[in-house]
Amino acid sequence: MFSYRHAFHAGNHADVLKHTVLIATVQYLTEKDAALTVVDTHAGAGLYRLDGDYARTSGESGHGLLQLAAAPADAAPLAPALQAYLDLVRSFNKGATLKVYPGSPFIIQHLLRAHDRLKLFELHPSDGRSLAGNVAQLDAGRQVAVLPEDGFEGWRKFLPPPARRALLLCDPSYEMKSDYGKVLNLAVEGLKRFPTGTYAVWYPIIPRPEAHDLPRRLKTMAQKAGKSWLHATLTVKSSKIITSATGEEKRPGLPASGMFLINPPHTLKAALAPALPQLVERLGQDRHATFTLESGG
């Protein structure tokens, strides 16, 4: 149950997509004066070393953040949403070399105001301890709460929030097939408890029926509830298993991921429209690289 460690995947193409969307969303939601509550159901460790053993073992950031940041000087300017993402990540690093990657908790906290609140759930023992230690360094006081609980259950205690403004981010590992159903159930119950909240779901696009059913079911649910929605995906390579001349099978790693939002900012689609084609251009690994962007409601 606790085998997944995001440290192996920090800064990969899925993080680039997720955090670009997250930054644009939080920036919009903090434009209003009223306090915002953000709930992160699967927070991870919060901060990751890109030069550490985990990240070097996988090398995934080299095909994600680091590749995006290494564009030649004569390359076309990045879309504003991607530039905001790079600028924020760079703010956690000294000098030009990117060695530290902020996970969702630190990205969110960086953008929040003093009267906003951040609730972080992390059940993994090691990551939970790391998260608590990293957050303690912020000296953020009551603004940030770290809870060593199951985010699929604990979120209920914070929605609806006192100021009636909230963002819930749900991005489990999906190592267990039951996570897909739990995500959908959370979204359904969340809308019943707090219909005006913004709900953001990250998911991997892999050869598994549940992965392809999830966005379709979220879309149907949002439409039936009369809520606006946005669905963005990024594919960087083929998902097919490669067989070598010796008959050895090589799995391609995560080929694609998606973000599905209910009650998204009305500005988000326009922000992502120029960003997603650039991600395909800069992070695509083969001719199967592509993106989708659709919305409704």
Q: State pLDDT tens for residues 137-152.
A: 988 889 999 999 999 9
Q: How many domains does the chain have?
A: 1
Average pLDDT over residues 58-82: 91
Q: Which residues are annotated as a binding site for S-adenosyl-L-methionine?
A: 19, 42, 104, 122, 150-151, 171
How many angstroms separate the CA atoms of 165 and 161, rounded? Answer: 7
**Active site includes 171?**
yes
Look up the pTM and report it.
Answer: 0.94
Task: Provide the sign of the torsion angle of the four alpha carbons 87, 229, 191, 177, taken in this order.
Answer: negative
The region that residue 97 occupies, defined by phi over 0 for left and psi between -120 and 50 for alpha, beta otherwise, is: beta
Residue 86 one-letter amino acid: L
Residue partners of 140: CB distance under 8 A and separation at least 6? 109
- pLDDT range class, residue 59, cuts 50, 70, 90: confident
Residue 54 one-letter amino acid: Y
> What is the pLDDT at residue 140?
85
Average pLDDT over residues 24-52: 96
| DSSP code, position 79 | P
- Residue 140 φ/ψ, nearest 5 degrees: -90, 0
CB 77 within 8 Å of CB 206: no
Q: Is 245 a member of any domain?
A: yes
Strand partners, 258: 203, 233
pLDDT in tens, 220-247: 999 999 999 999 999 999 987 766 666 6
Full residue range of the structural domain in which residue 14 is found: 6-296
- Residues for the chain: how many in total? 297
Q: Is 218 a member of any domain?
A: yes
- Checking if the pLDDT of 251 tops 70, the result is no
Structure tokens at 249: 């099978």
Strand partners, 120: 40, 146
Structure tokens at 215: 């966005």
**Average pLDDT over the chain, rounded to whole?**
93
Q: Is 74 a member of any domain?
A: yes
CB-count exposure of residue 76 (10 Å: 0-12, 13-18, 19+): exposed
Please give the helix or strand (H or E) that residue 178 lies within, else none.
helix 178-193
CB 4 within 8 Å of CB 125: no
Count of C-beta atoms within a 10 Å radius of residue 157: 10
Q: Is 1 a member of any domain?
A: no
| DSSP code, position 238 | -
Name residue, tokens 């644009």. 24
CB 177 within 8 Å of CB 237: no
Catalytic residue among 53, 171, 179, 213: 171
Q: Is 106 a member of any domain?
A: yes
Q: Is 147 a member of any domain?
A: yes
Report the CATH number that the domain containing residue 198 is assigned in CATH.
3.40.50.150
| DSSP code, position 61 | G
Q: Which residues are annotated as a binding site?
A: 19, 42, 104, 122, 150-151, 171
